[in-house]
Structure 1
Amino acid sequence: MSSTELPSAPAASVLPKVATVRVAEGERLRSVGLPGITLTVRSRPPAREGLAPALYVHGLGGSSQNWSALMEQLEGEVDCEAVDLPGFGDSPPPDDGDYSITAHARAVIRYLDASDRGPVHLFGNSLGGAVTTRVAAVRPDLVRTLTLVSPALPELRVQRTAVPTALLSVPGVTALFTRLTRGWTAEQRVRGVMHLCYGDPGRATPEGFRNAVEEMERRLRLPYFWDAMTRSARG
């Protein structure tokens, strides 16, 4: 391994105990074992029988919790599920340490094949937008519709807000950033993310902000937090 590479994430069997993941009222959380990966899936029981299935895929550093509010709004329209990509949310790192777009797309495909829910209404945000686009390209039979929210796809003019993510993928930058921000609180980190992602951060509810801080505190205790972030950014 070169000096520019991050150390491999520890095996899921030796990961430390951290706080439990928040589950909103009306939601369910379950773990799904698949070849090479274990995925955590968040769902809401459909309001009625016969609704078409939908699957939501979060962005870099996010989790299935990012979709809780939308899932509640759409529970009468679709049968909602949201997945934690490997190494994010409550899903442990993949066995092979592969966080490329192809690997994340493969994880989504494995889940859809195993659950036999396809074709689904597929939603993707940021990194999840790139992942779901790849899923739709290689397995169109699994996709009913594709909805992209600020997808991380190539642009003719690179947005300034994309620069921090690009820098994260540069060897050595993650270690430097970790040292420089060692004193930052989870609240400060969440406010930074909100200003990056929201046109108007004031639209976020106090409860939503508290939930995000709680999740950030939990994630920062995981030894593979920065590994998953950096390798996914490089992917």
Structure 2
Amino acid sequence: MSKTSKKKYTFYAILIVLILLIKSVVYSDISVEDLKMEYANKYSKFIEIDGMQVHYRDEGKGFPIILIHGTASSLHTWDAWTTELTKTNRIIRMDLPAFGLTGPNTTADYSIKSYTNFLHQFLEKVKVDKFHLAGNSLGGNIAWNYAAEYPNKVEKLILVDASGLPTNKPQPAVFKMAKTPILSDLFLYVTPKFFIKKNMKEVYADDSKITDDLINRYHKMALRVGNRQAFIDRARMDFKMGSKANLEKLKSVKTLTLLLWGAQDSWIPLDNGIRMDSVMQNSKLVVLENSGHVPMEENPEESLQLLLEFLKK
């Protein structure tokens, strides 16, 4: 074989490898209808709020408990808690705007004020007036803001690794990427599973608990039509509590509050939980030594027991 022929074959071989590599990380959007077939069930309902078809589940009977998930997650993060809590309570959870089956907000407004207004509208539509309110990460931020604005509606507040205070550390890589020109454009097409797995390893303390089914769910939800752009828009919002007014708002929450925190949370470290506990008027901080950022998903039995003890008081 001549040198020219070898060069030609080498070029085509490299080209084929590059095409295969690109195909392995480039994913098309997934339609809502296709995702419903896999991730909606007999308890799933859809309600219109501000032009969005909001996916939620309303299960069980008894005093209502509202569960709010965090960034890039969905109502499924509460599955284990819901299985047990529905034995004694009415459990309501939803996919927040920008995530899950609900998808993007038509206004692209993902400020805490917008999310708090969304929660108020949602609870009005499902007709609950008094309830316990629990939120993880972003969901926790929404929850304590809601409790500050509607103190008479929230019986008890549960904040699980909640955001709302500056972390005094660099943001996770996924948020940096979403804020960076060109990289954020790539994110609309290049969303490999290994990227999802990397993020999950950052939020879990025990990597062995990250299953293929879990990765697939987070990955497919990210690919829901419009969700990748919504994640970028959400990441560009400034959620830091830089103003005195916001800090005073946190201080104003008088609701009896349980702060559940994973000791190994690398996204919102335990120091944030300690500071939040020092700021709030009526809170108790409980640390889960073997958990990361999502204790209710990573260690549901341990975290649920702490919740039940809090609710019984």
TM-score, normalised to structure 2, is: 0.58
Residue by residue over 1:206-232, the C-alpha shift from the partner in whole angstroms, topping out at 9 and shown as x without a partner, is: 4xx41441441353252x222211222
CA contact (8 A) 1:44 1:72 kept: no
| CA distance in 1: counterparts of 2:235 and 2:196, whole angstroms | 18
- Return the match for 2:34 from 19, 35, 47: 19
| CA distance in 1: counterparts of 2:139 and 2:197, whole angstroms | 21
Residue by residue over 1:53-100, the C-alpha shift from the partner in whole angstroms, topping out at 9 and shown as x without a partner, is: 011111111111111111112222321111111121111322322111
Q: Residue in 2 aligned with 1:37? A: 52
CA offset at residue 165 of structure 1? 5.3
| CA distance in 2: counterparts of 1:131 and 1:159, whole angstroms | 22
Q: Residue in 1 aligned with 2:78? A: 67
CA contact (8 A) 1:100 1:231 kept: no
CA contact (8 A) 1:19 1:218 kept: no
Unaligned runs of at least 5 residues, structure 2: 1-29, 238-313
Residue by residue over 1:127-158, the C-alpha shift from the partner in whole angstroms, topping out at 9 and shown as x without a partner, is: 11111111111122221211111112214x52
Q: Residue in 2 aligned with 1:172? A: 181
User: 5 Å matches for 1:1-235?
Assistant: 16=31, 19-21=34-36, 22-23=38-39, 28-46=43-61, 51-155=62-166, 157-159=167-169, 162-164=171-173, 166-168=175-177, 170-172=179-181, 174-175=183-184, 178=187, 182=190, 185-186=192-193, 188-204=194-210, 206=211, 209-222=212-225, 224-235=226-237
CA contact (8 A) 2:135 2:143 kept: yes
CA offset at residue 30 of structure 1? 0.3
| CA distance in 2: counterparts of 1:109 and 1:139, whole angstroms | 9
The structure with the largest alpha-carbon Rg is 2
| CA distance in 2: counterparts of 1:196 and 1:100, whole angstroms | 24
| CA distance in 2: counterparts of 1:20 and 1:220, whole angstroms | 10
Specify the code of the residue in structure 2 equivalent to 1:97: A
Specify the code of the residue in structure 2 equivalent to 1:40: H
CA contact (8 A) 1:174 1:226 kept: no
Count of matched residue positions in the alignment of Structure 1 and Structure 2: 207
| CA distance in 1: counterparts of 2:206 and 2:146, whole angstroms | 31
Distance 1:72 1:173, change over 3 A: farther
Flag the structure with higher helix content: 2
CA contact (8 A) 1:57 1:83 kept: yes
Distance 1:216 1:149, change over 3 A: same
TM-score, normalised to structure 1, is: 0.76
CA contact (8 A) 1:101 1:131 kept: yes
CA contact (8 A) 1:58 1:124 kept: yes
Specify the code of the residue in structure 2 equivalent to 1:126: S
CA contact (8 A) 2:103 2:227 kept: no
| Identity percentage of aligned residues | 21
CA offset at residue 159 of structure 1? 4.3
Specify the code of the residue in structure 2 equivalent to 1:158: N
Distance 1:153 1:169, change over 3 A: farther
CA contact (8 A) 1:24 1:68 kept: no
Residue by residue over 1:163-210, the C-alpha shift from the partner in whole angstroms, topping out at 9 and shown as x without a partner, is: 33552453526526628x83x632x13321221111112234x4xx41
Unaligned runs of at least 5 residues, structure 1: 1-14
